[in-house]
Each structure stands twice: as structure tokens, then as C-alpha cells.
Amino acid sequence: MANQMMDIVKGSLQVLLDDVDFLPELAGERREKAFSSLLSILSTPDHVNKSFLRVALENGQVTRVPAFRVQHNNVLGPYKGGIRFHETVKEEEVVNLASLMTLKNALHEVPFGGGKGGVVINPREYSDKDLYVICKKYVQYFSDILGPDKDIPAPDVGTGEREMDWMMGEYKSIRPGESYRGSFTGKSVENGGSLGRREATGKGVYYTFRYLLHDFVKRQEHWLSERDSMFAKTVLSLKDKSLKIAIQGFGNVGSVVALSAYQCNHLNNKVVAVSDRNVTLYNSDGLDIPALIKFVSMNKGDLPMTGDQLETAGVKAKILGIGEVLTLDVDVLFLAALENQVYQENMIDIKAKIMVEGANAPVTTVADGYLSDKGIIIIPDILANAGGVIVSYLEWLQGRETQFYTEDEVFEKQLSKMKNTFDSVFPPFFSDSFTLRQQCYIHSVMKLSNILYRQGKLY
Ligand code: NAD
């Protein structure tokens, strides 16, 4: 497990160890030993599966492709997590992401464990036929450990509904007569996928911020004003302001966050900046997000990069460098691109009062500590970007029931699950001295520890 995650899990276990009301039946030396066992279990994966897929490419060459399926922990249910196709995939990274899935599912009461897959390829360098063969091979090599009640993959960076459709098709061929609909999630709607899955993560990311700033603050304004918490002061200072928002990343997550913010009438929002791999676009009066989404959909996912392209898009904006999105004078910064974007060198230039992690781990440990000490609220990945796995769970459920929900029903169920989590972590966050990330981990580790103890895993 990565150092940051490991440290927070360790810290969470210490908090629970000191809390005499938590598992009071464990006392004295037995309690010490049980908590040390919990650390050992939660900090290591159950299985690291690695294969070198033998792939016959369209060009006649046979190649070996390294592939992983890491199963971190299944105490809460079948392993669950995406499969990433990227040239930088490494075993340690897949293990970290699998661990995060265990913690994320526990936090949001999704009855799944944590898993993750990875294939070390740059998908842009392969033909569609080659990618199809790689998907089939992945399922062939790992078919014994996958399945609707064992381990359920989903898309991640470099994969999407097309790959999940292919993989489920192969799984079905390998296991004729067995249940298959829940073997993969993130499939196309025509092939048993859920309505609303594509937008689920972005909508959830925006909703997390909106719930905190609008619903929670409005309901708890008086209570918050009596807290001796710099984070309470931060949210109260933004309460009735017209908020300026910047968003890093304009892909699946970032563009949905941008549109949700643009359309949100509850808060007086203005999306003043968005960015992608090439450019930051800035307009202090607010950007025309629907026009940018239309442009991106017709230009291979890229935002306008030149004056001419902005004119074609019908968008007024200044063109800035890609890193500038992070340090603009805004109230809220959504991070929806990559990991490690806010770090020691740029953290002092951050001006946002609230940062929301749509991507996994976009803020390094050092930056997290520095910014939190200044009262900046960082809404962590584990809390904010769980919409995808929650709707994956709903897809799995719909596949089992062979009953499908409308898009509104999916969204309502997703938000209701996330709302339950917010209501359990926001009050202690504003009462204790922990950051929101630490508070989320304490909740998650508490659930996992409780179940591990009750299932007799600590003997
Ligand atoms: P995506 O590939 O659709 O979009 C990524 C965006 O980031 C693109 O706009 C790209 O141009 C931009 N980008 C790439 N490099 C950049 C750079 N150096 N600076 C600024 N922007 C850059 O990916 P996505 O599905 O939107 O996922 C974004 C992040 O969220 C990833 O880290 C992913 O792991 C995480 N995440 C996604 C989901 C999901 O359901 N899609 C769920 C949980 C977490």
C-alpha cells in the first residue's frame, strides 16, 4: 500500500484502538494484537496475479503483454475494480488502486471488496482487432479468478464500455450456462450496462461539493458557526458568495463536473477555467461549457487550442498554459485529470479554498498537509469520486434482477448512497481535528475492522 494510504490507515487504526467504545469486547493485550493483525491484513493484498498474455497481433507478430489482476480484500463482498490499459502500469500502482477500492467501497457501504487490473500497453498503439484479442486473452488468463460472485472488473483509464462488452462476451463463451451479466460492469446499455454510468463519477464529484456547500451548510449554519474549526470558517466564508470554479481535466469526469456546475442554480457558480492535456481556457465572466463539450466531442476529446478553434467553438476565452489552471484566483478547484498534480513546488501558489479530488490521488501527501493546515478543505477521492463504483454496483444488481432502472432512478439511488456517507463524515469532520480524508479513512477502517473481527479473521 502506498505510504500515504498506509499512514492514514495506520493512524485510523490508532484512533480506533484508543476508542474504548469500539469493539469493547477486545481489551488489553488481545486488543493490541487484534489491531496489529488488522494493520497487517489491510496493508497487504490477498492476491497479486500476474501473467504475460501471449497475443498474436494483426501484423503477424506474437508478443507478450504483462497483465495484472490484484485482489486486495473481499471481506465485504466480491473484489471489484477497473482494468487500466496504460504503458506506465506497474504492480505497485495496481496494488495501491486495489487497496483504495477496498476502502472506498467500505466507506460508501457498497457490498464489494477491492480489486484492480492493469495491462501494460499504450492502447493508442494497437489496432482495434489487437485490442479485442488482448481483452479476450485477459479474460482467458484470469477466468478462474473472475466472476459475478468472485471478482468483477470495470473500465478504468484506457478502457471503456467496448472493452467491457468484449470481455463479458469472452467470459460467457468460457463459462457456458453460468451467470454472466454481473461478471463485468461499465458495459454498454445495449449489453446490460446501466443508464447513467458514464456520467456517474462526474455527477457524484460535483454533488459532493454541492451537498457540502449548499445542503449541509444551510442545514447546519448555526451549528457550524459555533465550531472551533478552521474548516467550518472556510465553508461559512463561501456560503453566499458567487463562486469561481476551475477544473483540471475535461474528459469523462471533468466535463461532467463542468456541465453540472454550469447548470447548477442552487449555487451562484461560474466556471471560469477548464484545462486538458494541451491548454487552460480562462474567462472571468464564465465559460460556455455546453459549447466546449460540443467542440471536444468533435475533436478527439481535445479543448480548443488556438484562437481559430475558439472561434469555431463559439467560445470566448484566454488561452493559458496547462499548469495555470491550478493556481488561478478561484474559490474552488476540481482536480479531474491525473495523480500528483498538486505537490511541493506548486502548493504555495494554490488560491482555492476548496479542492475536490475527481481523479485518484491528485494531491501529494506533503501538499495535502500544507494546504489542510491553512484551512483549505480537500474533498478526497475516496469520498468524491465513488459515483462510478456505486453505479457499477447498481449495474451488477440490475443484471442479477434482470430489471433495469431509469436514468433518474439510477441517479437518485447513487446520490442517496453518497448522501448517507456525507452525513456520517461531515459532522465529525467539523468537530474533530482530522482532515476530511482522515475522517473518511477512520469510517472506512472502522467498518472493515468490525467485519473482519465478526467474521473471525483476527484469530
Ligand atoms: P479521461 O481520459 O476521460 O480524461 C482525462 C482528462 O485529463 C482529459 O481531458 C485529458 O486531456 C486531461 N489531461 C491529461 N493529462 C493532463 C495534464 N497533464 N494536465 C491537465 N489535464 C490533463 O479520464 P476520466 O475518466 O475523466 O478520469 C480522470 C481521472 O479520474 C483519472 O485519474 C481516473 O483514474 C479518475 N477516475 C475516473 C473515474 C471514471 O468513472 N471515469 C472514476 C474514478 C476515478
Give the sheet arrangement for strand 47-56, strand by strand: 47-56, 62-73, 114-119, 79-85, 151-155
Q: What is the mean pLDDT of residues 167-196?
A: 96
Given 329, 344, 379, which residue is the final one in a domain? 379
Same domain, 305 and 167: no
Question: Which pLDDT does position 5 carry in this prediction?
Answer: 86
Same domain, 311 and 347: yes
In a domain, 451, yes or no: no
Cα(362) to centroid(ligand 1), Å:
10
Residue 374: pLDDT band with limits 50, 70, 90: very high
Question: Which pLDDT does position 57 carry in this prediction?
Answer: 97
Same domain, 317 and 335: yes
State the number of CA atoms in the 13 A half-sphere of 242 facing the CB: 7
pLDDT above 80 for 347: yes
Instruction: Report which protein residue has its CA nearest ligand 1's atom 32.
Output: 359
Instruction: Report which protein residue has its CA nearest ligand 1's atom 31.
Output: 359
% of residues, the chain, pLDDT over 90 = 93
CA–CA gap between residue 442 and residue 436 (Å, rounded) = 10
CA–CA gap between residue 248 and residue 307 (Å, rounded) = 20
360 lines ligand 1 (CB under 6 A): yes
Active site (catalytic) residues: 116
201 lines ligand 1 (CB under 6 A): yes
Q: What is the mean pLDDT of residues 84-90?
A: 95
Atom of ligand 1 nearest to the CA of 339: 32
pLDDT above 70 for 427: yes
147 lines ligand 1 (CB under 6 A): no
**CB neighbourhood size of 304 (10 A):** 23
Question: Which pLDDT does position 435 carry in this prediction?
Answer: 94
- How do strand 354-357 and strand 332-335 relate by DSSP bridges? parallel
CATH number at residue 355: 3.40.50.720
276 lines ligand 1 (CB under 6 A): yes
Cα(37) to centroid(ligand 1), Å:
36
pLDDT above 60 for 307: yes
pLDDT above 70 for 98: yes
Question: How do residues 350-369 score in pLDDT, each as one tens digit?
Answer: 999 999 999 999 999 999 99
Between 66 and 265, residue with greater pLDDT: 66
Under a CB-based contact definition with an 8 Å cutoff, are residues 380 and 442 in contact? no
Instruction: Report which protein residue has its CA nearest ligand 1's atom 18.
Output: 277
In a domain, 305, yes or no: yes
Between 157 and 36, residue with greater pLDDT: 36
In a domain, 457, yes or no: no
Same domain, 62 and 111: yes
Question: Which pLDDT does position 2 carry in this prediction?
Answer: 62
Same domain, 93 and 225: no
Residue 157: pLDDT band with limits 50, 70, 90: confident
Same domain, 238 and 164: no
CATH number at residue 161: 3.40.50.10860
CA–CA gap between residue 170 and residue 297 (Å, rounded) = 30
pLDDT above 90 for 39: yes
pLDDT above 70 for 162: yes
CA 152 to the chain's CA centroid: 16
Residue 423: pLDDT band with limits 50, 70, 90: very high
Q: What is the mean pLDDT of residues 154-162?
A: 93
Same domain, 233 and 190: no
CA–CA gap between residue 353 and residue 237 (Å, rounded) = 9
pLDDT above 80 for 3: no
251 lines ligand 1 (CB under 6 A): yes
Cα(249) to centroid(ligand 1), Å:
6
Residue 300: pLDDT band with limits 50, 70, 90: confident
Cα(358) to centroid(ligand 1), Å:
8
Question: Which pLDDT does position 240 carry in this prediction?
Answer: 82
421 lines ligand 1 (CB under 6 A): no
Instruction: Tell me which residue of 2, 90, 88 sits closest to 381, measured CA to CA.
Output: 2
Same domain, 307 and 355: yes
Residue 35: pLDDT band with limits 50, 70, 90: very high
> What is the domain count for the chain?
2
CA–CA gap between residue 204 and residue 336 (Å, rounded) = 12
Mutate to test the pocket of ligand 1, among 93, 94, 101, 276 (most ligand atoms within 8 A of CB): 276
pLDDT above 60 for 1: no
In a domain, 264, yes or no: yes
Radius of gyration of the chain (CA): 22
Residue 265: pLDDT band with limits 50, 70, 90: confident
Cα(337) to centroid(ligand 1), Å:
4
326 lines ligand 1 (CB under 6 A): no
In a domain, 415, yes or no: no
Cα(172) to centroid(ligand 1), Å:
30
Same domain, 215 and 162: no
Question: Which pLDDT does position 100 carry in this prediction?
Answer: 95
Q: Which residues contact 407 (CB under 8 A, 6 or more apart)?
A: 195, 196
Residue 44: pLDDT band with limits 50, 70, 90: very high
Given 142, 164, 194, which residue is the final one in a domain? 194
In a domain, 214, yes or no: yes
Mutate to test the pocket of ligand 1, among 85, 201, 274, 278 (most ligand atoms within 8 A of CB): 201
Q: Tell me which residue range forms the domain holding 53.
A: 47-194
Same domain, 351 and 204: yes
Instruction: Report which protein residue has its CA nearest ligand 1's atom 29.
Output: 359
Q: What is the mean pLDDT of residues 30-55?
A: 96
Same domain, 341 and 212: yes
Mutate to test the pocket of ligand 1, among 194, 277, 346 (most ligand atoms within 8 A of CB): 277
Given 379, 408, 439, which residue is the final one in a domain? 379
SS (H, E, C) the chain: CCHHHHHHHHHHHHHHHHCCCCCCCCCHHHHHHHHHHHHHHHCCCCEEEEEEEEEECCCCCEEEEEEEEEEEECCCCCEEEEEEECCCCCHHHHHHHHHHHHHHHHHCCCCCCEEEEEECCCHHHCCHHHHHHHHHHHHHHHCCCCECCCEEEEECCCCCHHHHHHHHHHHHHHCCCCCCHHHCCCCCHHHCCCCCHHHHHHHHHHHHHHHHHHHHHHHCHHHHHCCCCHHHHHHHHHCCCCEEEEEECCCHHHHHHHHHHHHCCCCCEEEEEEECCCCEEECCCCCCHHHHHHHHHHCCCCCCCCHHHHHHHCCCCEEECHHHHHHCCCCEEEECCCCCCECCCCHHHCCCCEEEECCCCCECHHHHHHHHHCCCEEECHHHHCCHHHHHHHHHHHHHHHCCCCCHHHHHHHHHHHHHHHHHHHHHHHHHCCCCHHHHHHHHHHHHHHHHHHHCCCCC
- Measure the CA dihedral 413/414/420/422, to 10°: -150
Same domain, 152 and 235: no
pLDDT above 70 for 286: yes
Q: What is the rounded end-to-end Cα distance, in angstroms, of the chain?
A: 23
Atom of ligand 1 nearest to the CA of 385: 43
In a domain, 418, yes or no: no
Under a CB-based contact definition with an 8 Å cutoff, are residues 330 and 354 in contact? no
- Measure the CA dihedral 41/157/338/303, to 10°: -160
182 lines ligand 1 (CB under 6 A): no
Residue 446: pLDDT band with limits 50, 70, 90: very high
Cα(338) to centroid(ligand 1), Å:
6
Under a CB-based contact definition with an 8 Å cutoff, are residues 202 and 385 in contact? no
